[in-house]
């Protein structure tokens, strides 16, 4: 380290860059070093690299002239867990302080969704936090005689099962991926949706692949369950449901998975509307 006047020059491991920082700023606080090109002026001092502010439109600058009220948020400490399908056990992942917005940004049939943010190591992460609505709470607590926490765990277990089946499906299925808009391919009740007239062949194939995935889940489970509510952006799918041939476990009389389980009604609806396509044949699935 070489001291010159009020500056500290620190050489890096690279021969191309050095760092330059003031020893003491106007407030007496040591400032952070900034990277510069290893070029010097006539006095031997490194020349600072020119930086430019982020581009902001005039309209945005004018908006900053008016009061921008902060979004109301609640600070919540969340404990993250995951379910291991193979070992049939829950595992702790991490604890995280999360700031959850108080205003709902999306209302679904059973749950309300809230935007949330957290910071880890200086990096800001975005989350979606979901809570059951009053109708769902009534169904879970009163009709199913369960608790909110137990039902939430079963929903995570359901998604773990769906992910496991999808991964096995992906080993055989084509791997093409094209980003796109959020689309529902198959309803929760098993009804198949179809692309609009005049769409591209690539878009039609997505609906065929979705039906093939559902058919595959039914076949690989020996007709005991079926993935439904298939939706997402191209090949990235979210929030599926699982319908089971029997709604309850015979020994414990406990409902399988969640209150979105349409059981044999959903299964029969899909089988009635599904016609095996080229992807079903490619996967070696029996005709339905």
For residue 176, the domain's CATH number is 3.20.200.10
- DSSP secondary structure string, 71-83? PPEEEEEEEEEEE
Do 83 and 144 belong together in one domain?
yes
- The reply to whether 135 and 238 lie within a common domain is no
Which residue ranges of the chain lie beneath pLDDT 50?
A: 1-37, 177-178
Q: Is residue 221 part of a domain?
A: yes
pLDDT at residue 45, as a whole number: 63
Residue 85 inside a domain? The answer is yes
List the structure tokens of 103.
Answer: 């205003």
Helices vs. strands in the chain: H and E counts, helices first: 6, 14
What's the pLDDT at 252?
A: 87
> Do the domain assignments include residue 96?
yes
Give which of 195, 184, 183 is closest to 228, Cα–Cα.
184
Q: Are residues 142 and 105 part of one domain?
A: yes
| 60, part of any domain | no
Residue 246 falls inside a structural domain: yes
User: Beta strands 182-186 and 236-237: pairing type?
Assistant: unpaired
Q: Which residues, other chains included, contact 136 with Cβ-Cβ below 8 Å and sequence gap of 6+?
A: 109, 110, 111, 259
Residue 62 is assigned to a structural domain of this protein: no
Check residue 43 and give its pLDDT: 61
Domain shared by 209 and 257, yes or no? yes
In whole angstroms, give the CA distance from residue 134 to residue 210: 32
| Domain with 145 in it | 6-24+70-149
Domains contained in the chain, number:
2
Q: Which of 61-91 are b and which e, b meaning 16 or more Cβ less than 10 Å from the residue's Cβ?
A: eeeeeeeeeeeebeeeeeeeeebeeeeeeee
Going 12 to 17 to 21 to 23, the CA torsion angle's sign is: positive
Q: State whether 186 and 264 are in the same domain.
A: yes
Whether 34 maps to a domain, the answer reads: no
For residues 18 and 127, state if they share a domain. Answer: yes
Place of tokens 């391919």: 185
The DSSP-derived string for 181-207 is -EEEEE-TTSPBP-PPTT--HHHHHHH
**Is residue 76 located within the same domain as residue 139?**
yes
Same domain, 276 and 144: no
Do 182 and 238 reside in the same domain of the chain?
Answer: yes
For residue range 143-179, what is the model confidence (pLDDT) as tens digits? Answer: 888 999 999 999 999 999 998 998 888 776 655 544 5
CB 133 within 8 A of CB 112: yes
pLDDT at residue 232, rounded to an integer: 87
* In a shared domain, residues 144 and 218: no
Tokens of 28: 């007496």
Residue that terminates a domain, selected from 114, 149, 184 = 149
Indicate the pTM of the whole model: 0.63
To 5 degrees, how large is the angle CA 258–CA 262–CA 265? 160
In a domain, 250, yes or no: yes
Give the pLDDT score at 233.
82
> What is the DSSP code (8-state) at residue 255?
B
Reported as a single tens digit per residue, the pLDDT across 113-139 is 999 999 888 889 999 999 999 989 998
pLDDT value at residue 60: 85
177 and 258 fall within a common domain: yes
- For residue 39, the model assigns a pLDDT of 58
């Amino acid at each position: 380290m070489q001291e010159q006047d009020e500056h500290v020059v620190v050489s890096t491991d690279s021969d191309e860059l050095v760092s330059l920082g003031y020893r003491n700023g106007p407030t007496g606080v040591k400032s952070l070093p900034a990277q510069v090109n290893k070029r010097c002026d006539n006095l031997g001092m490194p020349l600072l690299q020119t930086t430019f502010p982020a581009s902001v439109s005039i309209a945005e600058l004018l908006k900053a002239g008016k009061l921008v009220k902060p979004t109301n948020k609640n600070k919540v400490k969340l404990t993250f867990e995951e379910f291991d399908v193979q070992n049939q056990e829950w595992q702790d992942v991490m604890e995280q302080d999360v700031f959850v917005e108080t205003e709902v940004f999306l209302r679904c049939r059973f749950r309300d969704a809230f935007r949330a943010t957290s910071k880890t190591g200086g990096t800001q992460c975005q989350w979606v936090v979901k809570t059951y609505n009053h109708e769902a709470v009534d169904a879970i607590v009163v009709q199913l005689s369960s608790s909110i926490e137990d039902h939430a765990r079963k929903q995570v277990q359901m998604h773990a099962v769906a992910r496991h089946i999808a991964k096995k499906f992906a080993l055989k299925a084509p791997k093409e991926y094209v980003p796109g808009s959020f689309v529902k391919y198959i309803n929760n009740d098993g009804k198949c949706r179809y692309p609009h007239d005049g769409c591209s062949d690539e878009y039609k194939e997505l609906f065929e692949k979705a039906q093939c995935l559902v058919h595959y889940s039914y076949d690989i489970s020996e007709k005991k369950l079926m993935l439904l509510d298939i939706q997402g952006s191209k090949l990235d799918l979210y929030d599926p449901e699982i319908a089971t041939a029997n709604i309850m476990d015979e020994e414990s009389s406990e409902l399988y998975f969640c209150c979105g389980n349409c059981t044999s009604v959903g299964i029969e609806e899909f089988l009635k509307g599904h016609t095996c396509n080229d992807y079903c044949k490619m996967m070696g699935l029996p005709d339905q």
